[in-house]
Amino acid sequence: MPLFGKISEFQDGQESFLNYEERLVQFFEANEVPDEKLVPVFLSVIGSTAYGVLKNLVAPALPKDKSYADLVKLLKNHYNPKPLTISERFKFNKRNQKEGETVSEYVVELKRLSTHCDFGTFLNDALRDRFVCGPRSETIQKKLLAEEELSFDQAIKISTAMEMAEKDTVSFGGMAAAAVNKVKIKSRPVSTPSEPKPVKTPMKKNGCYRCGGNHRSDSCMHKKSKCYNCGKIGHLANNCRNRQFAKNTNFVEESSDEELTLFVYSNSESKSNHPFKVNFMLDNEDVLFELDTGSSRTLINEHTYRAQLGGNKLRPTNIKLKSYSGQSIDTLGEITVSSEGKLLTAVVVKGNRPNLLGRDWLKQIKLDWKTIFASVNKVDSSDPVETMKQKFSEVFVKNDKPILGFKATIHLKENSKPWFHKARPVPYALKDKVTEELKILEKDGVIERVDNSSWASPLVVVPKADKKSLRLCGDYKVSVNREISEDQYPLPNVDDMFATLAGGKKFTKLDLTQAYAQLELDENSKDLLTINTHLGLYKYNRLAYGVSSAPAIFQSVMDTVLAGLSGVVCRIDDILITAPSDDVHLQRLEEVLRRLPTHNIKLNANKCVFMAKNVVFMGHLVDEEGIHPTDDKVEAVMKAPVPTDVGTLKSYLGLLNYYGSFIPNLSTMLHPLHQLLRKGAKWEWSAECQEAFDRSKDELSGRGYSFTMMNRNL
């Protein structure tokens, strides 16, 4: 008899069979139903109607004679037949933004409609194209069409920002609308007898009853806004008819206290998009904020709260926050702080995102906007980092020349033999992009077309993190990697690297632009890395990704370039700099920036971070207190399911061991799990295994997730 849960009969029309089958699998796992009992239990619980359908589908055989997988597949095909691709694409391409539908809601609908369209790798482009064609606002559409290189994510950000800005204009008093209404029209078109005269709706005496703006209430942006006074939908608290309460209360005007859509955390540090920053004294602590008028609430990150404002009691909050890309932002609660004699409330969010100064504080605190604008619109000559970046600007400018003074050599084993593989087919949707990328690499001198070669590796196409560009490399594991005599140059030890950073206060991380592609190969090594593509053979003139000895080769070059520098460590293409004071930090940074252009080594300005309080380096969050696990990797451990076989157990242990040094006595704790990996051991997930599994998660989350001091200090 089942011990956990209850599974009802399947009722078509009340639930999809896909959902029912997912619940059924969980029911089987919770009750540890053995494989040989899956069919009897399945036929017993699905009900007479579904059983009758199944019996007809398998006739003249009986359902009990079929496997569980076959039975489920039959019912899936019957109740949830695969939609026609052409029909689904028709629905997708006809979908425009509806009246009253927000950008976020429209994005969700487009993603839902694309589920069965089989766009494959073209999905993001299809979503972008439909999104650009479908907005109700012509202003937003024109802005999107004017963008030279537009991704789906960028289109969402731009549209949401413009949507929120339009809403803010109305909520701040409808000043723009009032100015337009003051324009006097000197001439009017004369209506012909066949044209009915337009009926003009008279303006209300006090303007829009929803928000107080000088416009018609039926076109107000706040039709769906929630009142903080009466709780009803359709107007703001400052215009609530319940005057007795409203006139004695100050309200924060926003769409909903349950869910706020914030287009935040995408601020670029480039000169063309400097964030507006301001310092506030909160409870006698100097806290740095970024101004964000798109955020109706002021947000303080977890690190600032614990390090500077921890004396304030954290209260629960029912507010749900979302970024304008649709991702949820975890909250810890609310706090009240004192500034300039006023009590202000802020939402504390997880992680180390920027502190955001929202509209709720802007309405209560006066800012020196003239000074703020002046500081943003010009490069501060007193900023030593900006001065240094300008002084060594050549290091951030890409050119086609390789690193000077070094060449990479691929060493082969004795009696090695060449390997030649034919080109693999490229997916049709990617063929144009691959062709374009090959031409770019050829133009930059990274690859060179050849007519023949004794070596050839098939091409591998890897999408980059931005999901719109590609990285091309050879599948060298089937060719040259078999014959390479591995370079013995060791990669730096993690513990040694972090020990070098001891005493650091701030951190600079420099990222090399396409690191391997900057290092030239010697003549004897170029043919070894030839790739076979749909356009023919290309040999590499620069070091390529996928070569097993490439990390060691490049590491030896960078160690030579940066030799003798204190407080500087490098892991292949990432350089980390720190110092006990700002002056020493700047001296070390200047020395690094002086050495790099000497060898024509180029940096990616968009990925460099200068003199930050913390940075992510080699998968760890590094600050002056020590090193910490990063939120995303801890979250991956927390969400890892219970292992069901040796393969999934090895995956979990590999993920956990990345942060193994943060957990004392880890080997002892995981002993029951390691026993399952012994050769010949029978797989049996015991209570001891479950206890070790749960405890390992608890230990990691309790030690690394809240930016607390680690046992491993810098």
- In three-state form (DSSP H/G/I as H, E/B as E, the rest C), the secondary structure along 90-102 is HHHHHCCCCCCCC
Q: What is the Rg, in whole angstroms, of the alpha carbon atoms belonging to the chain?
A: 31
How much is the mean pLDDT over the chain?
A: 78
Question: CA 572 → CA 410, 526, 548, 611, 664, distances in Å?
Answer: 17, 21, 14, 21, 30
Q: What is the mean pLDDT of residues 582-594?
A: 91
pLDDT band at 237 (very low <50, low <70, confident <90, very high): low
pLDDT at 711 over 50: no
The pLDDT value recorded for residue 575 is 93
Q: Which two tokens stand for residue 554?
A: 């490049």
How would you label 481-515 residue by residue, b for 16+ Cβ within 10 Å and e otherwise? bebbeebeeeebeeeebbebbeebebbbbbebbbb
pLDDT at 412 over 70: yes
pLDDT band at 610 (very low <50, low <70, confident <90, very high): very high
The pLDDT value recorded for residue 593 is 92
The pLDDT value recorded for residue 390 is 82
pLDDT at 272 over 80: no
Closest CA to 258 of 228, 230, 229, 237: 228
pLDDT band at 168 (very low <50, low <70, confident <90, very high): low
- pLDDT for 494-534, tens place per residue? 777 777 777 888 999 999 988 888 999 999 899 999 999 98
The pLDDT value recorded for residue 258 is 38
Lowest-confidence segment of 172-176, 554-558, 682-686 by average pLDDT: 172-176
pLDDT band at 150 (very low <50, low <70, confident <90, very high): confident
**Percent of all residues in the chain with a pLDDT value above 70, rounded to a whole number:** 81
Q: What is the mean pLDDT of residues 134-147?
A: 85
pLDDT band at 206 (very low <50, low <70, confident <90, very high): low
Q: Identify the top-confidence range among 112-126, 586-600, 668-682.
A: 586-600
Q: What is the mean pLDDT of residues 384-401?
A: 83
Question: CA 662 → CA 174, 630, 697, distances in Å?
Answer: 55, 12, 12
Q: Dihedral (C-alpha) 629, 631, 636, 639: value to the nearest 10 degrees?
A: 120
Q: 399 versus 466: which is more confidently predicted? A: 399
Closest CA to 504 of 579, 598, 610, 409: 579
The pLDDT value recorded for residue 50 is 84
Question: CA 316 → CA 297, 332, 347, distances in Å?
Answer: 15, 7, 10
The pLDDT value recorded for residue 6 is 76
Q: What is the mean pLDDT of residues 305-313?
A: 79
Q: 233 versus 505: which is more confidently predicted? A: 505
Q: What is the mean pLDDT of residues 178-206?
A: 41
pLDDT band at 466 (very low <50, low <70, confident <90, very high): low
The pLDDT value recorded for residue 48 is 83
In degrees and rounded to multiples of 5, residue 60 shows phi and psi of -85, 0
| Helical residues (DSSP H) of 114-184, grouped into ranges | 123-133, 138-146, 152-171, 175-181
- pLDDT for 10-26, tens place per residue? 887 777 787 788 888 88
Lowest-confidence segment of 306-310, 378-382, 392-396 by average pLDDT: 378-382
- pLDDT for 353-374, tens place per residue? 788 888 888 888 877 776 666 6
Q: Is the Cβ–Cβ distance between 587 and 508 less than 8 Å?
A: no
pTM: 0.46
Q: Which two tokens stand for residue 426?
A: 């490229």
Lowest-confidence segment of 186-195, 325-334, 461-470 by average pLDDT: 186-195
Q: What is the mean pLDDT of residues 81-105?
A: 82
Whether the CA torsion 348, 354, 360, 361 is positive or negative: it is: positive
The pLDDT value recorded for residue 592 is 92
Q: What is the mean pLDDT of residues 297-306?
A: 85
The pLDDT value recorded for residue 109 is 87
Closest CA to 229 of 244, 219, 217: 244
619: number of Cβ within 10 Å: 13
- pLDDT for 418-452, tens place per residue? 999 998 888 888 888 889 889 888 888 889 999 88
pLDDT at 107 over 70: yes
Strand 342-349 with 299-301, pairing: parallel
